[in-house]
Amino acid sequence: MDRVVAFIELRLIAAAALFALSATALDNGLARTPQMGWNNWNALACNVSEDLLLQTAKLIVNYGLKDLGYQYVVLDDCWSAGRNASNNNSLLADLKKFPRGMAAVADDMHALGLKYGMYSDAGSKSCARYRAMSEALNATGRPILYSICNWGEDQPWDWAASMANSWRISGDIWDSFDGDNGTCPCDGPSAWNCTNTGINCSVTNIMNKASFITAKGQPGGWNDLDMLEVGNGNMTDSEYVAHFSIWSVIKSALLMGNDIRKIAPADLAILSNPAVIAVNQDPLGSSASRRWMRDNIQMCCPPRQRQQRFSVMNATLADILADYTPNAPELKLAWEVRDLWANRMSNDMASAIIAGNNSTEGRYNSTETSYADGLAQGNPLLVGNVTTTVQPSGTITATVGRHGAAMFRLRALTTTTC
Ligand X SMILES: *[C@@H]1O[C@H](CO)[C@@H](O)[C@H](O)[C@H]1NC(C)=O
Residues that bind ligand X (CB under 6 A): 27-29, 47, 52, 64, 67, 84, 86-87, 92, 138, 141-143, 174-179, 181, 183, 192-193, 199-200, 234, 298, 312, 314, 343, 349, 352, 356-361, 365, 367-368, 380-381, 385, 395, 397
Least gap, CB of 346 to ligand X (angstroms): 9
For ligand X, the closer of residues 193 and 327 by Cβ is 193
C-alpha span between 25 and 132 (Å, rounded): 17
- Which amino acid makes up residue 58? K
C-beta of 42 vs 150, nearer to ligand X = 42
- Nearest CB to ligand X, comparing residues 120 and 234: 234
Which lies closer to ligand X via its Cβ, residue 348 or residue 415?
Answer: 348
Q: How far is the CB of 176 from ligand X (least distance, A)?
A: 4
**346 contact partners, CB below 8 Å, separation of at least 6:** 269
Least separation in angstroms between CB 324 and ligand X: 21
* Nearer to ligand X (CB atom), residue 406 or residue 417: 406
Q: Least separation, in Å, of the C-beta of 117 and ligand X?
A: 15
Question: Phi and psi for 37 in degrees, rounded to 5?
Answer: 170, -145
State the DSSP H helix or E strand holding residue 6, giving kind and residue range, or none if neither. Answer: strand 2-10
Cα-flanking dihedrals φ and ψ of residue 282, to 5°? -60, 125
Question: Which amino acid, 98?
Answer: F
Which of 62, 58, 35, 163 minimizes the C-alpha distance to 108?
58
Longest dimension (CA), the chain: 80
Residues paired with 57 in a beta bridge? none
Nearest distance from C-beta of residue 58 to ligand X, angstroms: 9
Looking at the Cβ atoms of 142 and 306, the one nearer to ligand X is 142
Residue of minimal CB distance from ligand X?
Answer: 179
Neighbouring CB atoms inside 10 A of 387's CB total 11
Q: Which is nearer to ligand X, 4 or 102 (CB)?
A: 102
Pairing type for strands 405-413 and 15-21 reads unpaired
Beta carbon of residue 312, minimum distance to ligand X (angstroms, whole number): 5
| Smallest distance, ligand X to C-beta of residue 298, A | 4
Measured CA to CA, the distance from residue 256 to residue 15 in angstroms comes to 27
Count of other CB atoms within 10 angstroms of residue 47: 11
